[in-house]
Structure formats: structure tokens, C-alpha cells
Structure 1
């Protein structure tokens, strides 16, 4: 059984789109291939290990909405063997709402093109100022295994790497979704990686816009 850290490197056509973010409110559209995603994951994993001392079992709260960065942080956390949680974390990642009381607090402005906060976020490290300068390649010293904890969210049974891989049934389709909860996004991501599919996340769309985007993207709308 592969671990979650094995899924992204195993993508057979890394130049194809893997993650697409489409914000109908701002007009922002970001499309990441598996190769580009892997670059972001390498940089974020390097930050986690080299600067934040993350290791197997470190608890990372991903308080980001269904944005392309949420998926990058899921993959980065699993790559270093960290557990994605929604409480009692060692490291907290916030959006522009700047919510969190963890010992280590990071935040993303979610501005277009991954731009930094207009003003430094008090009490938080601005991700846009620390991630881009990290190495483009990451080689873990400690590699997670199938039994390593992966997802521990309130109200649901915890999952290790093997359990989450098993639940994320392979899906070869291009799947369009509106913003949703972290567990759903984790499962959709694993399914896309296992099946050679891709995800299109559309925010701020009404029903008509959603249907048009689905047609343009040639995507299946997730219920």
C-alpha cells in the first residue's frame, strides 16, 4: 500500500492540470500541473522541516478554505509525516482571518498570485514571504509509512496513510467542486492522484455560472 507521500511523484502525466482554482468573485484563475504542485509541496515541506522542526506526528492545523493552497498544505504535511488536524496543533496555518493560537502560526493572504499581506499580519508569519525562497526539491530524512497518522479531525475517525489511500478511491475524471470541508477535500485529492484525475474548485459562482464553468473545463460536477 503506497503512502500519501508516494501519490504525487507517481502521477503518470505530470504536465497535465491537477489543481485549478477559479474565483468568480475576483476573476482569479490558477491552474497547477502535478509538476508545479510538486514544486510548491517541496518548498512548503522544506519550510516545515528545516525551519519549523516538523517531524513524523507533528500536528498541523490547516485553517485555509478550499483554495489551491489548502491542497498544497495537505500534500506537504503528508510528505513530512505530519498529521492534518483541526485542533490541538503544533503548527497552525490560517487564511486572512488570522485565526489560531498554536505555538507556531502562519498565514496566507489568499491574494491573487500568492501575494503577501498588504500589512504584516500581527502574530503570524506571512507564508508569501517565507515559502518562495525555499529549495525546489525536498528529500525527507524521516519517511512516513502506511501506519503513520494522516488525518485527525473532530467528529470523524482518525485515518492513517493506508486508511486515507483506501478511502480515496481512484477517480480519473476532472471533477468540479465548490468550496467544502477539509475531509472532503482530502479525499477528493487522494482520489484524483490515485486515478489520474484533476480538481477544479470554483468559488463565488451561482448555479448558472457553475454549469458554464463545468462545460468550459469539461468537468464532472461533484454532488
Structure 2
């Protein structure tokens, strides 16, 4: 009798990123996204020397690396202020000048507009720059320098603070689940999100993940490109 080898199983895609302007297309499974997030945690813990309770400002647009930054910062126990426009019924915290930050993540084209609103951080990383501006390190290359950092089991608890104002993981999770319910997301669904209009991570990351759905981020997509992505990616819901 011949030897039969079981076919290799391909892990489904959890997050897809499309940029119509640059042609960038990234597909990440849950384990791949988790690995990227663990590298960010390594950067924060080992590279920056940060600890639980330290403050991070994440002023980045929807992007696969933004997802890794957020998940890595949370897994490292940091309190994170989020970029994004408020949504009805959701309490959104944005960075304020009265809060000191230990690390800042910002898109290169937004640095000037934010420097007047927040104090200088000890560690600064930029996204979307061929060369990082003076005083900033390129985010993607900085992350690539570090091996994954795996936090101790049980580090994240529902009652732990996830933002500088003390909002807990449990509260954030409840808000994400409520938003997923509003959108109508269920396990196995696929959500297409317009990066230009849906910047808050509750919409493009936490809501779909809370429902067991995957997400497709469409950057720089006009209505025609957005509709084409909905067809090619076989999405079930969209946020334009």
C-alpha cells in the first residue's frame, strides 16, 4: 500500500490590505498577524525598554502594520491613545497635550500637524516615509529588527486599562461587539473598509475580530476600485 500524505492546510486570511495608489497588497492569517504583533511587542519591551502602564500614541491610518502596532502595544501592557474620528455612541479618546507619552507612532505626512498637540515622546516611529524624518525611526525596519516577544500568560485581563484615561479591555471589547452587531457581522463574514473614512480601529479592526469576521482594508480606493474589491475579495459587508 502506498504512503498517503495529508494535504497541507492553508490558514485562512484574517486581514487583507490593498492600496490602490501604490499597488501594495498584503494578506495576513491570524498567526502571521500575531507574529507581527509579537515583533512590535519585542520592539517596545526590548528595544524601547517600556513596561506595563507606559503610554503610547498611535496616530496611524488603517494599515496592516497599524494592526500589528496596536495588538503589540496592548499585549505589552501599554496604555494606547488612538487615532480616529468619533462614532456616534462610542467614547473616543484622542491624544491631548496634557498627557506625556513614552512612544509615538505616526504617519510621516501627519507629523507636522500633530507635534503641536502632543509633547515629544521618548521613542518616535514613522510610517510611509522612504527616509524617516529627523528624530524618527522607520517603523517597519525597526520592527523587523526584533524577534517576537511573547507576554506571560494571563497578562491581559478584562479589568486592565487599555487607554490612558483608564478605559478597560472589557469595556473596549463590549464597544467593539456592539459595533459589530450594528454592522451585522457574524463569524465567517468578510468586511470591506474604506481607510479614508473609517480610521478608528474599533471599526476596521476590533469590531470584525470580535465577531470572528475577517477584514479587507481599502486605501486610496475610488468608488469604482472599492466596488471592484468587494467583488474580487468576496466581502459580505462594507463600511464606506
**Is the shorter-chain TM-score for this pair beyond 0.5, marking a shared fold?**
yes
Partners of 2:53 and 2:13 lie apart in 1 by 31
Q: Is the 8 A contact 1:91 1:103 kept in 2?
A: yes
Counterpart among 118, 121, 126 of residue 107 in structure 1: 126
Q: Is the 8 A contact 1:21 1:201 kept in 2?
A: yes
Residue of structure 2 in register with 1:161 after alignment = 169
Unpaired runs of 5+ residues, structure 2, are 1-8, 82-93
SS at match of 1:149: coil
RMSD: 2.4
Partners of 2:52 and 2:104 lie apart in 1 by 16
For residues 17-56 of structure 1, the aligned pairs below 5 Å read 17-56=13-52
Residue of structure 2 in register with 1:75 after alignment = 71
Structure-1-length-normalised TM-score: 0.79
Partners of 2:166 and 2:10 lie apart in 1 by 30
Partners of 1:143 and 1:187 lie apart in 2 by 25
Q: Which has the larger radius of gyration?
A: 2
Q: Is the 8 A contact 2:76 2:151 kept in 1?
A: no
Residues 53-91 of structure 1, C-alpha deviation per residue, up to 9 Å, x if partnerless? Answer: 222221111111111111111111111111111423221
Partners of 1:144 and 1:55 lie apart in 2 by 13
Partners of 1:186 and 1:83 lie apart in 2 by 16
Residue of structure 2 in register with 1:202 after alignment = 218
Partners of 2:233 and 2:139 lie apart in 1 by 30
Partners of 1:206 and 1:139 lie apart in 2 by 40
Residues 78-105 of structure 1, C-alpha deviation per residue, up to 9 Å, x if partnerless? Answer: 1111111142322101122262421221
Partners of 2:166 and 2:191 lie apart in 1 by 25
Structure-2-length-normalised TM-score: 0.74
Residues 10-66 of structure 1, C-alpha deviation per residue, up to 9 Å, x if partnerless? Answer: xxx992111111111122111111111011011100111112122222111111111
